[in-house]
Amino acid sequence: MNQGQRQLEDVQGGELHVRVPAVAGRLTSLRHVLARWAEHAGLGPDDREALTLASYEAMANSVEHAYAGQLQGVLDVDAVRDDDEGRVVVTVTDYGQWQPPPADPGTRGRGLPLIRGLSPDFRITSSTRGTTVRMCWPLPEE
């Protein structure tokens, strides 16, 4: 089984680490794995939905924009339950080139604002080695 097909039972210690080819056809199954992971991590229904959608948008942006003009790249998705900080953290990392949003995106360009609206703590870090989108959600109080 490759890492893109990892089952929830394979997740150790509340962490999920997956590397897949950055192709659109891989994102739906990864979205389902993240949704199950978020439930396993203890997030409530609204935050699970937000995490799943925001993560999917970040992955889709990487697939569409990071490797423009290249044959293929890879995408890393990491999800961690951080009990010390009382939150879950999801990072989506590509190793392509950052594409700044156009001044007038027309009917496109809704991904980053959507992610920003769904994640209470959101950060993009880009360099010549790629881009990482980091999103955090608080764990429910017990």
pLDDT, tens only, 86-129 = 999 999 999 998 777 666 666 666 788 999 999 999 999 999 89
The single-letter code of the amino acid at 98 is: W
Cβ atoms within 10 Å of 101's Cβ, excluding its own: 13
Q: Could you tell me which residue, 3 or 119, shows the higher pLDDT?
A: 119
Task: Put residue 116 in one of left, alpha, beta given phi > 0 → left and psi -120 to 50 → alpha.
Answer: alpha
Coil, helix or strand for 131? Answer: strand
Report DSSP state, residue 17.
E
Query: Mean pLDDT score of the chain, rounded to an integer?
Result: 86
Counting beta carbons within 10 angstroms of the beta carbon of residue 78, is it exposed (0 to 12), middle (13 to 18) or buried (19 or more)? middle
Q: Say what the pLDDT of residue 72 is.
A: 81
Q: Say what the pLDDT of residue 4 is.
A: 43
Q: Nearest to residue 25, comparing CAs of 75, 69, 68, 66?
A: 75
pTM of the model as a whole: 0.85
